Amino acid sequence: MAFEASLIGILCYLGALSSPWLLGLTGGWYLLSRPLVSGMVVGFILGDMQTGIIIGVAVQAVYIAMVTPGGSMPADLNFVAFPAIALGILSNKGPEVAVALAATIGIAGTVLFNAMLVLNSWWNHRADIALEKGDERGIYLNSAIWPQATNFLMRFVPTFIAVYFGAQYINTFMDSLPHIVLATMNVLGGILPAVGIAILLKQIIKNYSMLIYFLVGFICIVFLKLNMVALVIVGALLALIHYNYKPEPQAASTVKPANDEDEF
């Protein structure tokens, strides 16, 4: 389990917001740290890819509308994507409990994220001092190397500890919880994905009449039992109808009525 915990810890660092190695934010934060992707990767590492994908989909629905303006995060999606999903897989309690664990760990992860920002400001101060002294090596170390080393330690160490020791104690801990606590986590975990979808709809829907398309998708899944491939085809057809055949707005008339009296 030490190898698996180390590998997940390294992936957690590579997918961090300030990690530059995987094409910057493109391959790390916006790809590897998406729970939909990390769930599959973590599940493959832990030997249960199916459960990883199921948990990743449920967690992704919660954070599908999360934005990080200026680095301000309501939850640390990186910790959600790796240690939280890993613990969800190891707990064997289903995706609902995993979602509740992810929400808790994601909020706690913001503490470490803010601590990293504070430490980085200290490295920046040391880089300013090196700049005043003309120390090129000091500038490079304090602006590139030491901040990344700090970021690595604050991502790798908590993830390694959570996965390595969680593999031994997470089942015992979860089984020791009262039934009402597990029932509450199941209920909250089932509600949170709906909250994420509602926030996304609030952001992208400009006209409430477009909610009918969401209801059509809901009917196709729940009542018609369509799979995702068929639903994508139906969605593409609705998008084609909406954007190609919707009535165009009439342009305001700019022609002024002729005056009855001639101007001299």
DSSP readout, 47-95? T-HHHHHHHHHHHHHHTTT---GGG--SS-HHHIIIIIHHHHHHHTS-H
pLDDT band at 170 (very low <50, low <70, confident <90, very high): confident
In this predicted structure, what is the pLDDT of residue 260? 52
CA–CA dist 235, 211 (Å, integer): 13
DSSP secondary structure letter of residue 209: G
Residue-wise pLDDT tens digits, 111-138: 888 888 888 889 999 999 999 999 899 9
The DSSP H or E segment spanning 115 is helix 95-133
In this predicted structure, what is the pLDDT of residue 264? 45
Q: Identify whether the C-beta of residue 95 lies closer than 8 Å to the C-beta of residue 55.
A: yes
By three-state DSSP, how is residue 105 classified? helix
Distance between alpha carbon 92 and the CA centroid of its chain, in Å? 22
pLDDT band at 259 (very low <50, low <70, confident <90, very high): low
In this predicted structure, what is the pLDDT of residue 258? 54
Residue-wise pLDDT tens digits, 136-145: 999 999 998 9
Burial 10-33 (b: 16+ CB within 10 A, else e): bbbbbbbbbbeebeebebbbeebb
CA distances from 68 to 17, 90, 139, 219, 245 (A): 10, 29, 28, 33, 36
Residue-wise pLDDT tens digits, 205-231: 878 788 888 888 889 988 988 888 998
DSSP secondary structure letter of residue 98: H
Phi/psi for 260 (5° steps) reads: -70, -30
In this predicted structure, what is the pLDDT of residue 255? 53
Total residue length of the chain: 264
Mean pLDDT of 176-203: 79
CB atoms within 10 A of CB 197: 15
Residue-wise pLDDT tens digits, 229-258: 998 899 899 888 888 877 666 655 555 555
CA–CA dist 12, 82 (Å, integer): 6
Q: Identify whether the C-beta of residue 152 lies closer than 8 Å to the C-beta of residue 16.
A: no
Q: Identify whether the C-beta of residue 75 lies closer than 8 Å to the C-beta of residue 109.
A: yes
CA–CA dist 31, 159 (Å, integer): 19
Sign (positive or negative) of CA dihedral 71, 75, 76, 77: negative
DSSP secondary structure letter of residue 208: G
In this predicted structure, what is the pLDDT of residue 64? 86
Residue-wise pLDDT tens digits, 85-109: 999 898 888 888 888 888 888 888 8
Q: Highest-confidence range of 168-177, 187-196, 254-263, by mean pLDDT?
A: 187-196
CA–CA dist 39, 86 (Å, integer): 8
